[in-house]
Amino acid sequence: MSLEEVLTTYKQPIDEKQAWAVCYQCCSGLNVPHSSHGTASQVKDPSSILLHRDGAVSLQREPHHDNETDGPLVPSTRDHRAAEQYLTGGRQSHS
């Protein structure tokens, strides 16, 4: 699920602790050498930042020269429950 999907679905910003964690992991991802396919990680917008169920963050890869892309490692969804579960770590909300 991308950061954009989480923000849109949950209709509120992530908290400061989550934001710093995302920033740190994005910077770490940018520091990884390019793959043998010649793809580079770039953060173009919040949809470029992929949030995984285990809390890991990865970056969407740039398209290959043959227009293939490395897709997200976690299925994309706009389901409110999925976003809420991600942000709350599976704890039930009282809303």
- pLDDT band for 85, please (50, 70, 90 cuts): low
For residue 65, CA distances in Å to 41, 68, 92 come to 14, 7, 44
Query: Mean per-residue pLDDT for 67-79?
Result: 42
Looking at the domain assignment, is residue 43 inside a domain?
Answer: yes
Structural domain harbouring 17: 3-88
31-66 pLDDT, tens digit per residue, is: 766 555 555 566 778 888 888 888 888 888 655 444
What percent of the chain has pLDDT above 70?
A: 51
Number of domains comprising the chain: 1
Calpha distance 25→19 (Å, rounded): 10
Query: Is pLDDT of 19 > 50?
Result: yes
Q: Identify whether 94 is part of a domain.
A: no
- Of 79, 55, 58, 78, the C-alpha closest to 70 is 58
More confident: 69 or 33: 33
Considering the domain boundaries, does residue 93 fall inside one? no
